Structure 1
Amino acid sequence: MSIQYKITPHHIAAHLFAVELTIEQPDAAGQIVHLPSWIPGSYLLREFAKHIVSIEAESAGVRVPLTKLDKSSWQAAAVAAPLRVTYQVYAFDLSVRGAYLDHERGFFNGTSVFLAVAGQEDQPCGLTIVPSQNNAWKVATSMPAQQVDAAGFGQYLAQNYDDLIDHPVEMSDFSQVEFMAAGVPHRIIIAGRHQADLPRLAHDLQKICEYQIQFFATPAPFKDYLFLTLAVGEGYGGLEHRASTALICNRSDLPWAHETEIKDGYRQFLGLCSHEYFHSWNVKRIKPAAYAPYDLSQENYSRLLWAFEGITSYYDDLCLLRAGLITPQSYLDLLSQTITSVERGYGRLVQNLEDASFDTWIKYYRPDENSPNALVSYYTKGALFALCLDLTIRQATQQQKSLDDVMRALWQEYGLNFETAGRGIAESEWETLAQRVTGVDLSDLFELGLRSTAPLPLQDLLADLDVVWQQRAADSAQDRGGWRANPAPSKLTLAAKTASDPLGVKLVNVMAAGAAEVAGLAAGDVLVAIEGLRVTASNLDVLLASAQGVDRSARALRVHAFRRDELFECQVTPISAVLDTVGLKMQAEFFNDSKATRKWLDV
């Protein structure tokens, strides 16, 4: 093997991995090595090289000078013998995107720890994972093993550098359970403290995995699959890989042995697993031409993220229903929450889906206090546009075609042979293929949904399927959407998202043209008094309600607030809360007789 890596939990208390890279045939002009600036699936330059705290090189026992070329590249002096580069990586990122090391566990993505060998990225890579001093630790990874011990420490093999960085590794005393789905071995490992009912988790995930494999048609695009899960007190996230996914969840969201129903947190976790698993087809193999191949040194721009993240977000919850894990009403509740999350952002009137996809590098992954006014999520609005596409196609073809057919055609034409052909889908090809496969002229819908900020025709499309749409005001700060039999009346509001603060109530986001903005208040301001009375998170609604007169109109209130360390006074006239909360309900008397609805939901 001409390229060999070895990684060791070197100094656990300092959170340092030690990495050795041996290059048997270095570039005669001086070998360049470089580290990615971002990780596929998370579209932000994260500059992983900043975590390399020391680096040196040697050849034939003699130290070799290294010259840093830029933020993430080094060049060794020319040598005639094999070159060995050794370096230490600081690893204390608990997310699914980076690397982590402490006395409880070690975890890493290859993008955080493995320097690429310039000019030899296509060569096979050997990896040796060295055990720590903690004898209870085991290794979990989807990378093919070559020679490992019972705990999984030892030698692994990657086809090339791209393969090397697409198999995250967990090292800890994790628990695990295995199952088969469509003849493919699957494994779930859970690191962190938890009381999860593993057999139930395996039973439920098996249904999701089998449904998705059959959806795209066997065989699956992997020989085995691994769910790498970290259970924490508070956290949520996932990142897809070619034969695995890295997940983080609240330990309370996992199913417990005494539970029989699917609680909200567990439903959310299953949706996360479904989302990342669906990516095995849609983005890992069916992918934009801009990502074929990835250039991990800089931004890779595409206007198609709505199709890869948005459509995946549409199918993730729908697969829970089609796999028989949740009821149609439970699915509509989840859909209500997605619609509500889009409705509550003024940015939906400012940014379209193509721009949201293109600007993800500077906007979506870098949210600030004005983000709700300036951007829309290609995940959530993309999911709603996918729903519009699906229902429009079904309606136009009398249920003979659907978005399902488009996804299967994409798999056959772009995904199935991606490993050998490496062809991504060009920016305009997605729309062309969808219209060719379905025989439906979708050009107007594409213009509306992708290149304008006009409202999507969701309400009308759902009404055709006997789904009742309820538009109401939120009944509390915890209200994420969903049907209410008796909606609460609209309250007076500042049109701002707030949080408790030691001094009073802090404005986190101030909505465009709302009461707070009109009064001159800004995100970061801390309200300390309204009409001379102290403000707290618990009495804010009561104080705002005092502005309402007998004729239902609102009067101005005297507000004292701090901006940084400066106290100021302003007049605020609260407004009625916007009807930005959606609830959906199936007309039960029509459901059993509605073939169109049952075919859409596949129940």
Structure 2
Amino acid sequence: MTTHTPIRYRIAVTSPEAHQFEIHCHVADPDAAGQCFTLPVWIPGSYLVREFARNIVSIRAESAGQVVALTKLDKQRWQAAPVKGELTLIYTVYAFDLSVRSAYLDSQRGFFNGTSVFLAVEGKTDRPCEVEMVGPSAARYANWKVATSLPEAGAARYGFGTYRAKDYDDLTDHPVELGDFTLATFEACGVPHDIVFAGRHNADMDRLCTDFKKICEYQIRLFGEPAPFDRYVFMTVVLGDGYGGLEHRASTALVCSRDSLPAAGETDIKTNYRQFLGLVSHEYFHSWNVKRIKPASYAPYNLSQENYTRLLWAFEGLTSYYDDLTLVRTGLIDAASYLELLSQTITGVLRTPGRLVQNLEDSSFDTWIKYYRQDENSPNSGVSYYTKGAMVGLALDLTIRQKTQGAKSLDDVMQLLWQRYGRDFYEGGGKGVGETEWETVAEEATGLDLKGFFNHALRSTEDLPLPELLASAGVKWQLRAPQSGTDRGGWLDKPKAGGVTIGAKLGSDSGLVKLTHIFNGGPAEEAGLAANDVLVAIDGLKASQANLDAALAKAKVGDKLDILAFRRDELIATRLTLQVSTDNTVGLACDDSDADKIARRRAWIGV
């Protein structure tokens, strides 16, 4: 067996105030014809070509202390001239993207994904990699630490020094947090888990450990012990306002708002903490579903271009179904809270006219040009494979339970996928799920003919039969008109019937009402209003969300509103004729009318 010398990287925090990392890439035996290097254009889990090479500020090559000619071949590739002996590439990367997808560095903290900073050595990406992390030298950075799920290769835990990876793919799948962060540790099914928070906060770390542990142990046991990693790291940057996450094989990078975290002494689960726990659950579930059970087109990833699949509904949508389901099954939230979240997801899809235009397979395939590039017309032209995919997960789970009299569920499908594709992915050759294989596995796991279900759910634009399916699981369905501009869905004991609409989605712009989306065929479109128009006055009164809600509450179909609005810097005046509000808002509640319904609901959500 041939043993290859590892590719050695060095990443140094040389200039935090200028937001720059300096990286060295050392190749012991470069290609005799001239070694090529390339940087990914996208990061797995976020399906958009992001052109990370644009952040390379300077780059040069050396061998034996001598400068080596370096030619740029295209937007992301460089080739060094042939050399005898070793070759080192030296370059700086500008890092000021305060998200989970790229890299960030300032005098307070640093963060990077490998796809943003580590150039791949073409032809040698299967080799082991070593990376030396070097901290800033100034005394004020003396307390900086390192958080990553990369195994140490000489570095102390949480310390600067050398870490290792099996290959380039492994190297780029372990993000790194740098700084004087808050750290807490717990065990789930015998596996150590770190919680890392960067940024100002007063979170109750003990409670976070307790709540995270419930999520982690449930999901590990759902797929079957042992966990697919030896250690896991949750790394979160806390901001005044922020939300997001990105999964990795043994860690996740998260963004949360400061007020979403529980303070010491708080015992309830406030709405924004519930949302944060759902995010944690979502990204952790990805450790199985997409990091190891993954589409064949991602096995392996081609990071130089788009990778297409029609299966994102299964990998993102079903993960979105299980994230909140995990919270209720672990007792972190109660049944009423779970049904409220579910009703809001369904409401969001029903309020998207594009669900009747684009099917779920096409939504998955077009993610590169649609989901991550949404514009003012997106609600009219497409549907989210996250939210519609979660609804399909719900419908599929309840269909399986109903047709098998509770003997099988979606859990059985996920477990078979894990056994067949995920459990040995990184050790057994990395076989991904073919474009038609997911449906075949679902039929095998359940013993059902599900072809009609999948044709309806994935390849048509017809709505799912959720009222009937939920009724079979002991849940009442309420379809009603929205009660106000802030009504996101949920059960109401006495909802107001009917109502009127202006046919637009509203946002805020410096305290003013902004039309963010105009729905096709609605009053706003017919009145000539457009996305990004800012309302100035409604019937002679200063426009606000409150007075718009008040005007709509007392209006009837056919009434007219005189609108003044700014389009860019031009004032326009128009008259808008109100239409009847569509019943597109869902409420869900427990149906306890008989013992069978209660038993079926408990078997499904666990409470």
SS in 1 for 2:515: strand
Separation in 1, partners of 2:164, 2:596: 53
Write the letter of the residue equivalent to 2:367.
T
1:259-338 superposed matches below 5 A: 259-338=266-345
Extract unaligned runs of 5+ from structure 2.
Answer: none
SS in 2 for 1:588: coil
* 1:38 pairs with one of 39, 42, 52: 42
Post-superposition shift, 1:488?
A: 3.8
Per the alignment, residue 346 of structure 1 pairs with 353
Per the alignment, residue 366 of structure 1 pairs with 373
Distance of aligned partners of 1:224 and 1:446 in 2 relative to their CA distance in 1, 3 Å threshold: same
1:465-480 superposed matches below 5 A: 465-480=473-488
| RMSD value, Cα | 1.6
Separation in 2, partners of 1:151, 1:182: 22
1:532-547 superposed matches below 5 A: 532-544=540-552
Post-superposition shift, 1:511?
A: 1.0
Separation in 2, partners of 1:110, 1:450: 34
Per the alignment, residue 567 of structure 1 pairs with 571
1:432 and 2:440 aligned: yes
SS in 2 for 1:594: helix
Per the alignment, residue 517 of structure 1 pairs with 525
Per the alignment, residue 406 of structure 2 pairs with 399
1:170-181 superposed matches below 5 A: 170-181=177-188
Contact 1:110 1:168 in 2 (8 A): yes
Contact 2:309 2:435 in 1 (8 A): yes
Q: For residues 508-558 of structure 1, what are the alpha-carbon distances to aligned partners after superposition, in whole Å with 9 as ceiling and x for unaligned?
A: 111111110122211122333344444334322344567x3xxx4423333
Separation in 2, partners of 1:594, 1:553: 41
Per the alignment, residue 448 of structure 1 pairs with 456
Which runs of at least 4 in structure 1 moved beyond 6 Å after TM superposition? Answer: none
Separation in 2, partners of 1:361, 1:294: 15
Write the letter of the residue equivalent to 1:230.
V
Write the letter of the residue equivalent to 1:217.
G
Post-superposition shift, 1:466?
A: 2.2
Separation in 1, partners of 2:597, 2:472: 13
Separation in 1, partners of 2:353, 2:171: 41
Q: For residues 183-240 of structure 1, what are the alpha-carbon distances to aligned partners after superposition, in whole Å with 9 as ceiling and x for unaligned?
A: 1111111111111111111111111111111111111110111111111111111111
1:101 and 2:105 aligned: yes
Contact 1:591 1:598 in 2 (8 A): no
Q: For residues 142-189 of structure 1, what are the alpha-carbon distances to aligned partners after superposition, in whole Å with 9 as ceiling and x for unaligned?
A: 000011146510000100000000000001111111111111111111
Per the alignment, residue 143 of structure 1 pairs with 150
Separation in 2, partners of 1:151, 1:477: 47
SS in 2 for 1:67: strand
Distance of aligned partners of 1:502 and 1:246 in 2 relative to their CA distance in 1, 3 Å threshold: closer
Post-superposition shift, 1:480?
A: 1.9
Q: For residues 362-385 of structure 1, what are the alpha-carbon distances to aligned partners after superposition, in whole Å with 9 as ceiling and x for unaligned?
A: 000111111111111101110110
Q: Single out whichever of 361-370 and 464-473 deviates more from structure 2.
A: 464-473
Separation in 1, partners of 2:221, 2:513: 51
* 1:457 pairs with one of 446, 465, 474: 465
1:586 and 2:593 aligned: no
SS in 1 for 2:153: strand
Q: Single out whichever of 149-158 and 426-435 deviates more from structure 2.
A: 149-158
Write the letter of the residue equivalent to 1:177.
A
Separation in 1, partners of 2:51, 2:241: 26
Post-superposition shift, 1:503?
A: 9.7
Contact 1:503 1:528 in 2 (8 A): no
SS in 1 for 2:79: strand
Post-superposition shift, 1:589?
A: 4.5
Per the alignment, residue 60 of structure 2 pairs with 56
TM-score normalised over the length of structure 1: 0.96
1:8 and 2:16 aligned: no
Extract unaligned runs of 5+ from structure 1.
Answer: none
SS in 1 for 2:85: coil
* 1:121 pairs with one of 103, 110, 125: 125
Post-superposition shift, 1:566?
A: 3.0
SS in 1 for 2:67: strand
SS in 2 for 1:335: helix
Per the alignment, residue 507 of structure 2 pairs with 499
* 1:252 pairs with one of 256, 259, 264: 259
Post-superposition shift, 1:470?
A: 1.2
Distance of aligned partners of 1:388 and 1:151 in 2 relative to their CA distance in 1, 3 Å threshold: closer
Per the alignment, residue 83 of structure 2 pairs with 79
Separation in 1, partners of 2:399, 2:219: 23
Contact 2:216 2:284 in 1 (8 A): yes
Separation in 1, partners of 2:531, 2:23: 44
Separation in 2, partners of 1:447, 1:454: 10
1:194 and 2:201 aligned: yes
Q: For residues 120-159 of structure 1, what are the alpha-carbon distances to aligned partners after superposition, in whole Å with 9 as ceiling and x for unaligned?
A: 0000011000011311111000000011146510000100
Write the letter of the residue equivalent to 2:363.
A
SS in 2 for 1:331: helix
Separation in 1, partners of 2:525, 2:182: 51
Contact 2:57 2:92 in 1 (8 A): yes
Per the alignment, residue 383 of structure 2 pairs with 376
* 1:131 pairs with one of 130, 135, 140: 135
Separation in 2, partners of 1:385, 1:587: 22
**Aligned residue pair count:** 599
Separation in 2, partners of 1:502, 1:599: 48
Write the letter of the residue equivalent to 1:561.
A
Contact 2:557 2:580 in 1 (8 A): no
TM-score normalised over the length of structure 2: 0.96
Write the letter of the residue equivalent to 1:514.
G
Write the letter of the residue equivalent to 1:447.
N
SS in 1 for 2:154: strand
Distance of aligned partners of 1:529 and 1:251 in 2 relative to their CA distance in 1, 3 Å threshold: closer
Q: For residues 18-41 of structure 1, what are the alpha-carbon distances to aligned partners after superposition, in whole Å with 9 as ceiling and x for unaligned?
A: 111111111110110000000001
Contact 1:466 1:591 in 2 (8 A): no
Contact 2:306 2:368 in 1 (8 A): yes
Write the letter of the residue equivalent to 1:155.
T
Q: Single out whichever of 262-271 and 37-46 deviates more from structure 2.
A: 262-271
Q: Single out whichever of 552-561 and 477-486 deviates more from structure 2.
A: 552-561
Aligned residues with identical type, % of pairs:
60
1:217 and 2:224 aligned: yes
Write the letter of the residue equivalent to 1:433.
V
Q: Single out whichever of 479-488 and 329-338 deviates more from structure 2.
A: 479-488
Contact 1:15 1:91 in 2 (8 A): yes
Q: Single out whichever of 536-545 and 353-362 deviates more from structure 2.
A: 536-545
Post-superposition shift, 1:489?
A: 4.7
